[in-house]
Structure 1
Amino acid sequence: MYVPPAFRDDDLDNIRANVRSARLANLVTATADGPLATPLPLFLEETEGERGVLYGHVARANPQWHSPPIGEALAIFMGPDAYVTPSWYATKQENGKVVPTWNYIAVHAYGPVEFFHDPERLLEVVTRLTNIQEKPRAKPWTVDEAPADFVAAQLRGIVGVRIPVTTFKGKRKMSQNRPEADRTRVAAGLTASEDPRDREVGLLISVEGGGRSSN
């Protein structure tokens, strides 16, 4: 991922928050058969290792876990994103030298991937993932509500994923490279959108500070 200085996010707390808020990740591995990728939920166990350990699972029928990875795995987490029209830029009225762009937050996590089959470890991962997603509900569903033999059978159909994170790359592209007048108008345009995803991005744009950089 190309990260210009203006968009670089090295704050570990920010990175962890973006990982937690991402609804779905993409697990990418390079193999002798070419690159393989699987969309899946992952959670970060922050108490393990220096940067934490990612956990999840894939289907047993998924060929990704059968193919030995070449080098480290890559987990991609995407945060809020929105299209930015050049019509919002004050610069457009000044010289017309503007183009469309996209604002977004992304985190790339790198590390060696381990695939495991132990039922107890799998149950722990499935339970953690379920509890994370069910927590906001008024009446959270828990794994132990399902029959134990049924859960055991389901666990035989998956393979666990463990990635000790060696490197995080964080990118927060929120119009920091534009003049203050442009940032103000972009934030106003996005927060006025009917699309809640646009409004979320609009609220993340700072109209103070900033500076110019390439995209």
Structure 2
Amino acid sequence: MYLPEHFSESDPAALHRLIESHPLGILVTRQDDLLDANHLPFELDAEAGLLRCHVARANPVWREADGSEVLVIFRGAEAYISPTWYPSKHEHHRHVPTWNYQVVHVRGRLRVIDEERFVRGLVGRLTRTHEAGEEKPWKMADAPREYIEQMIAAIVGIEIDISEMTGKFKVGQNREARDRLGAAAELQARGAEELGKAMQGAGKAE
């Protein structure tokens, strides 16, 4: 990933927050000379330095990638930025369109854990996390026991030992404060609250 220094984000807490708020990662693997990508919801265990997920038993990735080095991409807020949102554009017109975004790349070694207890625990934790905002959260006990057992048997657990975590938060750090804040305000007015707030916060050190 091309990473100019002013867009680099190295704060572990910031990287962890992005992964936890945007847990659908892209697992990139290599088999022979071909690249493959699978879109999977991950659990981050920051303290242990691990990512966990599960895949369908019918998905060949768990057999093909076991023990290999992999890349997982997490994409946060992103949006098109128009030059017309910069106040200085209307003075000198020396701006062009761009795209702002936040991403985290995680590298590590993939390990398959084909154990019922591991998979059941992972599914239970993911369910509790993502059902937490529901008025009546669904839980595994809501479904017939034999059905859950059938579903658990149809998936395989994956754990990734994190070796490197790289963040790129392109949120207007290379712009004048008035231009960055002008674009942030326009994004928020259009409903892009997350990216707008990130762009506003990018100027705290100024």
One fold, TM greater than 0.5?
yes
* Mapping for residues 84-163 of structure 1, pairs under 5 Å: 84-163=81-160
Give 1:17 shift: 0.8
Unmatched 5+ stretches in structure 1: none
Tell whether the 8 Å contact from 1:27 to 1:75 is kept in structure 2 after alignment. Answer: yes
2:199 aligned with 1:205: yes
2 CA distance for matches of 1:89 and 1:210?
Answer: 20
Q: Which moved more, 1:122-131 or 1:93-102?
A: 93-102
With over 3 angstroms needed to count, the CA separation of the structure-2 counterparts of 1:39 and 1:113, relative to structure 1, is same
- Following the alignment from structure 2 to structure 1, what is the Cα–Cα distance between the partners of residues 156 and 102? 29
Deviation at 1:94, TM superposition (A): 3.2
Secondary structure in 2 aligned to 1:44? strand
Q: How many Å separate the matches in 2 of 1:160 and 1:70?
A: 13
Q: Is the 8 A contact 1:19 1:107 kept in 2?
A: yes
> Is the deviation greater in 30-39 or in 61-70?
61-70
- Of the three residues 59, 66, 76, the one matched with 2:56 is 59
**Shift of residue 71 of structure 1?**
4.7
**Structure 1 length-normalised TM:** 0.88
- The ranges of structure 1 where at least 4 consecutive aligned residues each deviate by more than 6 angstroms after the TM superposition are none
Give me the TM-score of the superposition, normalised by structure 2: 0.92
Letter in 1 for 2:42: L
RMSD: 1.9
Q: Which has the higher strand share?
A: 2
Cα 1:185/1:43, change in 2 over 3 Å: same
Give the aligned length: 205
Instruction: Identify the range of structure 1 (68-77 vs 39-48) with the bigger mean alpha-carbon deviation.
Output: 68-77
Of all paired residues, the percent bearing the same amino acid is 36
User: CA separation in 1, counterparts of 2:92 and 2:84?
Assistant: 12
Give the superposition deviation at 1:70: 8.4
Contact 2:23 / 2:43 at 8 angstroms: preserved in 1?
no
Cα distance in 1 between the residues matched to 2:17 and 2:146: 36
* Contact preservation (8 Å) 1:31, 1:70: no
